Structure 1
Amino acid sequence: MKYNHFVRFIMFISLLCFLLLSYGFVKGAYSVLNPQKSKLIVNNNTQKNNQNDIVHKNNKLKIVALGDSLTRGVGDDEGTGYVGRLKTILQKEYKQPTTITNLAVSGAKTSNLLNDLKKKNIQETIGSADIIVLSIGSNDLFPGANQLNEEFLKTYRPDEKTFKNNLQSIFKLIRQKNPTASIYAFGYYNPFHNVQGLDASSSFVSRWNNLLELSVLQTNNAYVIPTFDLFFNEEKKYLYTDHFHPNKDGYIEMANRLTSKIGSQLRGESNE
């Protein structure tokens, strides 16, 4: 009698083990065939899985634009500039809802932007951004087309020390108010390369680009968007009639280059 009870007990345990193993197998197979979406929602001010990936909320991508007349879009007869086109491309081609706050001021130098970054309302706007784009420094380099001539360039020496210090302070302030937003800074082109007697100005532009790159290298998650090659020997094609600002086509090229960089991050691709 005791033997029969023991046998039944063993059979019960065996059946129970079989059912548990079967349940585990079925559940595992279902998980593989029907993967669940991650429930982790990453905010724009929280830690990133990859330092080079743009982190933003599930709704709209918030972009803040800073700088000078290039960010304002001066020279574009449509008034769109690279900023407006950036938004359009992100929304149409990348299906990414986007808002852009353009705080750029025509004629601004690095000293002007530095002062603006100390204002509370601007700091708050920067603090909420997922991406920060800027163009600044061209007005520090060139004193004005009416002063530029071959004789002037022989003795002209731009204030590199002040420019370098201002750039470093600008990136430092941005990072203090927003530790995680991706920063994209446009490099410099030479609008006077094809002007007789002013081709020597390219050496100053190259130096300005070097200083910008050094400042960006010292800033986490910041990138330079080069423009020198876009406009080199293409001044007639891409410059406005003032021979300084980009025209519509010039801004299109700038927007395409910027969006390509941002788009690679939205897709989680490498930024090397």
Structure 2
Amino acid sequence: MRKFLYGIIFCIALFPTTAFADEHEVYIALGDSLAAGQTPYSQIDAGYTDFIALQLMRHGKLAHFSKELTFPGYRVENVIESAKSEKATQLLKEATLITVSAGANNLLPLIAHNPHKGTLAFTQLNANFALNEVRTNIQELLSLIDYKAPKAKIYVMGYYFPYVSVHREQQLGAANVLQMLNAILKQETEQAGHVFVDVYEAFDDKRADYLTNVQDVHPNQVGYRIMANEMLKHYSGNDSLALAREAMPAPRPKTFEEMLELAGQNEAAKNEYNVTAFHITNKPKPIYV
């Protein structure tokens, strides 16, 4: 059910039709709420994966796109379980392009953030344990994707520093931990023969413009545009596929309640995904990803 909801939002947000006659990439997104497109206000809209798909479509390079294997709150081990599912087997078998966002949810819940006082607190020992967990699990995830998606080019997304209301002296320790997470993702990705997409510096230039809710770590659509363009730069080798700010589609955010209502209007989807079993009380809290 939750996967079906994101398919609805993508189609509503960006595509008037699902027919792409001349395109060729089968793009499958995996990962957490950044891959799903969660907004700073606990809604779902077009995110970086949608923008990547949109630009590929506009340039005649897209045959199919799905973010059915994404969901807010996913840790690396959750992405592994998602990739092992029967649905994933069908999607990944034909995939030619995959993006992955995973790792932040293993780490960020350990960082206590007080946006009103501008403070961050965490225990380095716990952070080190989480980082080692990410290293082991990302190896397993990439090996699994290699096996299930033998035709795919794989891009693993890095993370930005998600706190804008923190005193300068409070930033250093948490920033170092986030950079360690990125370093682990980069090392394991490149050792597996895939591409790591670093968004840290590109995002940091105007971080306050992208993170508009100081109590939440998700970017707005302008921030997602930055992430998409960094990936597209790696994909094409230049800026030819970059999404210009003036070419962005109008925001069309949907709450989880609205998404549930939309899904409820589709009886076939209701039968397939058991809509009645999905409770809004399970709505993820806006903690990264």
Output the TM-score relative to the length of structure 2.
0.65
SS in 2 for 1:143: helix
**What is the root-mean-square deviation of aligned Cα atoms in Å?**
2.6
Change (3 A) 1:100 1:215: same
Say yes or no: does 1:72 pair with 2:36.
yes
- 1:220-246 Cα offsets, whole Å, 9 max, x none, are 3x1011111022252211114144111
Change (3 A) 1:172 1:249: same
The alignment covers a number of residue pairs equal to 208
Say yes or no: does 1:215 pair with 2:188.
yes
Match of 1:180?
A: 151
Q: Distance in 1 between matches of 2:30 and 2:44?
A: 20
Q: Distance in 1 between matches of 2:124 and 2:155?
A: 33
Say yes or no: does 1:95 pair with 2:95.
no
Q: Distance in 2 between matches of 1:88 and 1:217?
A: 26
1:105 to 71, 80, 92: 71
Deviation at 1:198, TM superposition (A): 3.8
Contact 1:90 1:96 in 2 (8 A): yes
Match of 1:262?
A: 235
SS in 2 for 1:142: helix
- Decide which moves more: 226-235 or 190-199: 190-199
Say yes or no: does 1:152 pair with 2:161.
no
Change (3 A) 1:251 1:106: same
Output the TM-score relative to the length of structure 1.
0.69
Larger radius of gyration: 1
Question: Equivalent pairs: percent with the same residue?
Answer: 24
Deviation at 1:117, TM superposition (A): 1.8
Deviation at 1:258, TM superposition (A): 1.3
Say yes or no: does 1:253 pair with 2:232.
no
SS in 1 for 2:196: strand
Match of 1:130?
A: 96
- Decide which moves more: 240-249 or 148-157: 148-157
Q: Distance in 2 between matches of 1:119 and 1:210?
A: 29
Gaps of 5+ in 1: 1-56, 268-272
SS in 2 for 1:189: coil
- 1:157-206 Cα offsets, whole Å, 9 max, x none, are 34222111100000000001122310011111111266122442011011
Contact 1:68 1:109 in 2 (8 A): yes
Q: Distance in 1 between matches of 2:221 and 2:113?
A: 26
Q: Distance in 1 between matches of 2:148 and 2:22?
A: 22
Say yes or no: does 1:117 pair with 2:83.
yes
Match of 2:173?
A: 200
2:199 to 212, 227, 235: 227
Contact 1:216 1:224 in 2 (8 A): yes
Q: Distance in 1 between matches of 2:80 and 2:134?
A: 11
Q: Distance in 1 between matches of 2:164 and 2:234?
A: 27
Match of 2:47?
A: 81
